[in-house]
Amino acid sequence: MDALDNSQTIRRATVPEWLRQGETRLRLQTIVRLRWLAVLGQSLTVIGAYWVLGIDLPIYPLKGYSVTMPVKNPSAAWSVSLSDDAHKLVLSRLGDRLRIAGTAELNGYDTAINEVRCQAIVKRVMELFPGAGDPSKAEFWTGLRPATPDNLPCLGATKYSNLFLNTGHGTLGWTHACGSGRILADIVGGRRPEIEFPTR
């Protein structure tokens, strides 16, 4: 979940005047066009750029990388999702492509690709699965993940009656997605969450 990918422009924005005037409900037509909000009926969920709304959260961008390369030898390539705990990498098979993602770099809002880091990922994969992929055709990508110091996401209500938080999952965005969605659906629906989770 790369919620901070447009933060370079959003983080310079000021809190809109109508928020400073004490509004308790956000105007859907005013902010629905922004990519960092998800719409749930008449409710909104913040997945990034919460500071524009005057919400203070313990979140920092955690930069991650992914490498995608074509399969070279199908019999040498993995066919299920794997984790390399020693190097903090996750390996996936996407048809005739191999995807390796991971690392955690604290580098502010910089989204420049570090070639050395990418090549280190390629090197590790070739050590684990020699001949599986074609590193000469590898494609590199990087993105920012909203992370908290204790690795627990920020979920729940805010000072605005129709704005809810679902952010701060760090490197576990996909892992926590279904559980967080279930918790948030219960909160938005006025029910006690079936899944227990720590509150901030």
Domain boundary, last residue among 147, 162, 180: 147
- Same domain? 165 vs 131: no
* Distance separating the N- and C-terminal Cα atoms of the chain: 21
Q: Which residues contact 20 (CB under 8 A, 6 or more apart)?
A: 54
Q: What is the pLDDT of residues 50-108, one digit of tens each?
A: 666 677 788 888 999 999 999 999 999 999 999 999 998 999 999 999 999 988 899 88
- Same domain? 36 vs 74: no
- CATH number of the domain where residue 131 is located: 3.30.9.10
Domain that includes residue 105, residue range: 60-147
Residue 186 tokens, joined: 């219960």
Output the pTM of the full model.
0.70
Total structural domains in the chain?
Answer: 2
3-state secondary structure of 156: strand
Contact criterion met (CB below 8 Å) for 57 and 3: no
Q: What is the largest CA-CA distance in the chain?
A: 63
Is the pLDDT score of 29 beyond 90? no
Which residue, 143, 116, 121, 134, is CA-closest to 69? Answer: 134
- Same domain? 65 vs 138: yes
